Amino acid sequence: MVQELLDKIGSLTIVQAAELVKAMEDKFGISAAAPVAVAAVAAPAAGPAAEEKTEFNVVLEGFSGDKKVDAIKKVREITNLPLMDAKKLVEGGTGVLKEGVSKEEAEKIKKEIEALGGKIALK
């Protein structure tokens, strides 16, 4: 049954997959980050070549420090968000900064944000 579901999900178009994610969010009260994690966990089942994770999501999990202005500037640079959205993200202390980046890029972003007082998780 599980394999059958995976096969069906794998055959969905991008639009259908987005609709599925939205429906799952509504029905189960989960956030958009959770389906990404589920997809990342399911990826190794695809075959032995997918064992090592190659794409990461850079997630801001908190911010404390006196370099808030610099952090907002850096978040804008990374995310291309408007100023007010970047400010809300830093002040709120949580949110995805970048999705599907290489390990090297994720580590670089993590180092830059942590130097400004942010707490980063790579997922």
* Nearest alpha carbon to residue 102 among 41, 52, 62, 45: 52
Q: What are the C-alpha distances in Å from 115 to residues 1, 59, 60, 106?
A: 47, 15, 13, 14
List, as one string, the DSSP characters of 66-122. Answer: S-HHHHHHHHHHHH---HHHHHHHHHH--EEEEEEE-HHHHHHHHHHHHHTTEEEEE
Q: Can you give the pTM of this predicted structure? A: 0.56
Alpha-carbon dihedral sign for residues 14, 16, 21, 25? positive
For 15-63, the pLDDT digits (tens) are 787 788 778 877 877 765 544 444 445 555 555 554 578 899 999 988 8
- Give the model confidence (pLDDT) of 80-105 as tens digits: 989 998 888 888 888 888 999 999 99
Instruction: Domains for the chain: give ranges and CATH numbers.
Output: 2-50 (no CATH), 56-122 (3.30.1390.10)
71: tokens are: 């952090």
